Structure 1
Amino acid sequence: MDLNLDQMSRDDLKALQRDVEKALATLDDRRRAEARMAAEQAAKEFGFSLEEILAAQKKSGKKNPPKYCNPEDPRQTWSGRGRQPQWIKDALAAGKPLDEFAI
């Protein structure tokens, strides 16, 4: 299919753009369905349903419980993992021990 875009009108180009966007969305939907079918087949080979695997993944994604609390604002907590919040950094820089903020 050879299109000479330089000779198309603005309306024709806009229509072509809509058609291309629609075709891409349809392609994405088909590929997503194919991927789901492949994932379901792979799960089945191991004796699981895809829903069981996804449910187990959601359960294991729990947040870590907070271990430290800002005494000036108890809504600010930190689990002790990841980047230190600024209030912890400031307190440590001021010489306060981390244990002072333990919950």
Structure 2
Amino acid sequence: MFGRHQMNDFDLSDLDLDELKKLHKETAAAIQNYETRRRQEALAAAEAAAKSAGYSLKDLVGMSAGKPTKSINPPKYRNPDDQDQTWSGRGRQPQWVKDALAANKSLDDLLIAR
């Protein structure tokens, strides 16, 4: 029942509060040590798998099927007065969009032809 180690048979009700607290503390520490060892073993296995494929684990962290982790939104609107200024239509409106809307233009007037 207890893996490689045999646990002595004893009745927990025979222990006083201090003994129970000590047992609890030692058990919690043993669980933490076990989880740490398992994480280290998993990390070593992942590093070995990455190395066998010709990569370091650091090279692979954050990658998702070879795709960039951040999606790039193409521009949807362009400033008719300055063709270098574009906006994807997401997030805060640039000042040139606010100025165009204030001048009675619509967002349709600023659309990039597709």
TM-score range, shorter chain: 0.5 to 0.7
* Higher-helix-fraction structure: 1
TM-score (norm 2): 0.53
Residue 35 (structure 2) pairs with residue 28 (structure 1): yes
Aligned residues: 74
Q: 2:26 matched to which residue of 1?
A: 19
Q: 1:39 aligns with which of 30, 40, 46?
A: 46
Query: Could you tell me how far apart the structure 2 residues matched to 1:54 and 1:40 are?
Result: 11
Give unpaired runs (5+ residues) of structure 1. Answer: 76-98
TM-score by length of 1: 0.58
Runs of 4+ in 1 over 6 A off after TM superposition: none
% same residue: 33
SS, match of residue 60 in structure 1:
coil
User: Could you list the runs of 5+ residues in structure 2 that have no partner in the other structure?
Assistant: 1-6, 74-87, 94-106
Q: RMSD in angstroms over aligned alpha carbons?
A: 2.9
Q: Which has the higher contact order (CA 8 A, sep 6+)?
A: 1
Residue type of the alignment partner of 1:3 = F
Equivalent-residue separation in structure 2 for 1:36 and 1:4 (angstroms): 39
State the partner residue of 2:15: 8
